[in-house]
Amino acid sequence: MHRRIQHRTQASEGSFLERQPPPPM
């Protein structure tokens, strides 16, 4: 179950970063 949650978090993070990448420093 933990592995499934991790997979979901990774996918969400990837989508979020692609949709709104962090501002350059």
Average pLDDT over residues 3-17: 59
pTM of the model: 0.17
3-class secondary-structure state, position 23: coil
Average pLDDT over residues 2-21: 60
Structure-model confidence comparison of residues 14 and 25, the more confident one: 25
Q: How far apart are the first and last CA of the chain?
A: 37
Tokens of 21: 């990448």
Residue 21 has pLDDT above 60, yes or no: yes
* Distance between CA atoms of residues 1 and 20, nearest Å: 29
- Residue 12's identity, in one-letter code, is S
pLDDT-derived band at 7 (thresholds 50, 70, 90) equals low
